[in-house]
Amino acid sequence: MSRVRRIGLVQQAVGDDPERNLLRAEQAIREAASRGAELVCLQELFRTRYFCQREDAALFDLAESIPGPTTERMSKLAADCGVVLVVPVFERRAAGLYHNSAIVIERDGTIRGHYRKMHIPDDPLFYEKFYFAPGDLGFHCIDTSVGRIGVLICWDQWFPEAARLMAMDGAELLFYPTAIAYLDGETDEENAAMRESWLTVQRGHAIANGVFVCAANRVGREERLRFWGSSFVADPRGQLIAQADDSSEQVLVVECDLARIESQRRGWPFLRDRRIDAYGELLSRFRR
């Protein structure tokens, strides 16, 4: 039986109107489905502009519950199109408690999984610790009709431990909804180096774990940030089998043969050769 799956990634610029952003994301999902996508992943915080460039308590009003208006719309769309969806949400869990989250919706419209971003950055123009509590749902995969998937979000992509734990939980496809950008004031060389580092570390996750890695990033200028797009799919060898450019809106639809996971891991048996008896100190913050 064929294990080829068609994966869609949506790369869009985001405007000021959340309703229009939601409508445009729905249109992109329909486009991906019309081109044969079986699973479609949206970019991080797709419904709003990247508001974490400043600290403003009024922006908590952008958050919504799960389930809520966005998840209800997307559940209907998943059922209408017959596709699995990875949908990022600015989650209002309780009064004063918010998460940067994503849900997975099965093709029948049911919510199959929920992930809350575990690693929360606090960098210039990325003041996420003001808005989001760290995730508390752990690193657990979600079984879908397309395959067993792991969902992580943006800053999570720099941490090999997160990718490894998803692989150890059986992930075949690892998704990173993302909002990452060039900063004003940096040189072209510095910006290019950062983008290359971003690509390299995720390709490394694909290689080290023998999984497909799929990253969906936004494009366009938002205040002092220019989002660099470059959404991509890497195979278990870390090879880029599809990549969008760094400036235009695109919908990628990519074939991923999940049978390649088995063949790759037979040749490069990293999971077999891990010295799990010797890694206890990884639970320390620092050894010295």
Residues annotated catalytic, as ranges: 44, 117, 154
Hey, what's the torsion of the CAs at 242, 246, 249, 255, to 10 degrees?
A: 10
- State CA 269 to chain mean position distance: 26
Indicate the SS3 state at residue 276.
coil
- Tokens at 126, concatenated: 């990325």
- State CA 51 to chain mean position distance: 18
Indicate the SS3 state at residue 97.
strand
Place of tokens 């929920």: 114
- Strand ranges for 42-195 from DSSP E: 84-94, 97-105, 111-116, 122-123, 126-127, 142-143, 148-151, 173-177, 181-183
Q: How far apart are the first and last CA of the chain?
A: 51
Q: How far is CA 128 from CA 21, 120, 178, 182, in A?
A: 21, 6, 13, 17
